[in-house]
Amino acid sequence: MNGGIYSDQKCPLCKARFYDNFKNALICPEHHEQHASRFRVYFKDTSKRFKSYDEAARHLTGLRFKADEGTFKAKDYRGDLPLSFRKLAEQWLVLQKPEVKPATYSKNKCHLNRAIDYWNDKNVENFKKRDFQLFLNEALAEYSSKSKHNYLADIKQFFQWLVDNDDIIKMPKFPKVKYTLARRNTVDKITQERIIEEVYRLAKPVNIKIFIGVKFLATYFNTRPGELLEVKEKDIDLEQKRILIQYTKTNEEKYIYLLDEDVELLKELLKGFPKGIGNYKDLHFFRHLKGMKGIPENKRFGKHFFSDYWKRACKNLKIENVDLYGGTRHSSVQGLRKNGLSPEQIKLASGHITNRAFSRYFELSEDDLRKTYSLTRRQRTGKGMAKGVKSVNA
């Protein structure tokens, strides 16, 4: 019979090696009352320690079963567990860190750590669709469908890496998670301008660049707040009337093409900048000034800084449930639609790649829907209209 249970201990009375009684213990051949307390299973170039005979016996039985059905692989049972989900996921995260943006890495790490806690050292070759379904239903039971989709997307990316590195032969099947993208509240152009004017009033005594950031987000709606915050002085080219956006969601550089009035605004702002202070071109454009309590001079604005001022402005104007994204980017897109631009034109300007994401920006208003519905009817009046109704009812 393949394999066996052994111990490195000897009988304390006669120094004989313990042998397996194939029932419940390793015992001394002469002194049957003497039992081993440490166990190791050896099976086809593999070995593993155990603290009890029962655990060792169950493990050995499992290995023999695997060998009988032809699925035993010695590397799966090596002491370093080369195909452990935990071990390989940790390796993937190490390799991901220098390749992706910090925010992306942070998200990936969060998602994979939750999966590591759930699956631990499960062999990556043994994953089936139900394993992912159980993970969604148990580990992520209280999460939204969109969050579950995001977790599964990162785990799927990890398994694709396993396939690419020949750790597994093929991708396991993944369940589909249906979700609906949330709709954002928007405001009309006049209300948007009122909010931006209030941001200007709040920001002027603190740092005028707060106002400029919010104004730019409403105007150049192909740029996200996080992308704008990464702009440095050297990225602004007033001669070419453009700003280079290097750190984007898609990792592809793009430009903001400035309007003349914004070029003049930036020229006026940059006139008084002290050129003799270090390498100022490497400083972030949206940064704090000297005198902010608890914040170092020239530190980049935080990721919620624009949003905080937008919320304060909305509160002052008693405007509720409109966040920075909805009030700038989404509202600007809605305004362009009302000015006659086609969805295709707006999609190109906004920088959206997928129709699903863009659809949130292009909702029909109540008036638009009524106009659309009206086109399904022929305009009739008087007797003609009555006749038409009668013929339908008949």
Domains, the chain: 4-77 (no CATH), 85-164 (1.10.150.130), 189-271+279-367 (1.10.443.10)
On whether the CB atoms of residues 151 and 111 are closer than 8 A, the answer is: yes
Residue 393: the pLDDT is: 36
On whether the CB atoms of residues 150 and 106 are closer than 8 A, the answer is: no
pLDDT in tens, the chain (394 residues): 688 999 989 999 999 999 999 989 999 999 999 999 999 888 887 778 888 999 999 889 888 888 888 887 776 666 556 788 999 999 999 999 998 888 889 999 999 999 999 998 888 988 999 999 999 999 999 999 999 999 999 999 999 999 999 888 899 999 999 877 666 777 778 888 899 999 999 999 999 999 999 998 888 877 888 889 999 999 999 999 999 998 887 778 888 888 889 899 888 887 655 554 556 788 999 999 887 788 888 899 998 899 999 999 999 999 888 888 766 665 555 555 555 555 555 555 545 444 445 445 445 455 554 555 455 445 544 444 444 444 333 3
Angle (CA) 324-329-330 rounded to 5° is 95
Residue 205: the pLDDT is: 92
**Residue 391, class by beta-carbon neighbours within 10 Å (0-12 exposed, 13-18 middle, 19+ buried)?**
exposed
Distances in whole angstroms, Cα of residue 3 to Cα of each of 47, 61, 77, 228, 330: 9, 10, 13, 64, 67
Angle between helix axes 208-219 and 189-203 (nearest 10 degrees) is: 160
Q: What is the CA 61 to chain-centroid distance, rounded? A: 43
Instruction: Using DSSP bridges, classify how beta strands 236-237 and 242-245 pair: parallel, antiparallel or unpaired.
Output: antiparallel
Angle (CA) 230-236-238 rounded to 5° is 160
Q: Please name which of 236, 235, 202, 196 lies closest in space to residue 214, comparing C-alpha atoms.
A: 196
3-state SS, residue 105: helix
Residue 318: the pLDDT is: 93
On whether the CB atoms of residues 60 and 26 are closer than 8 A, the answer is: no
Q: Please name which of 329, 322, 338, 391 lies closest in space to residue 357, comparing C-alpha atoms.
A: 329
Place of tokens 């949330």: 182
Q: Please name which of 343, 339, 367, 340 lies closest in space to residue 357, comparing C-alpha atoms.
A: 343
Q: Please name which of 304, 340, 343, 338 lies closest in space to residue 324, comparing C-alpha atoms.
A: 304
**Residue 203, class by beta-carbon neighbours within 10 Å (0-12 exposed, 13-18 middle, 19+ buried)?**
buried
Residue 253: the pLDDT is: 86
3-state secondary structure 201-243: HHHCCCCHHHHHHHHHHHHCCCCCHHHHHCCEHHHEECCCCEE
The beta strand positions in the chain, using DSSP E, are 4-6, 19-20, 26-27, 39-43, 46-50, 236-237, 242-245, 254-257
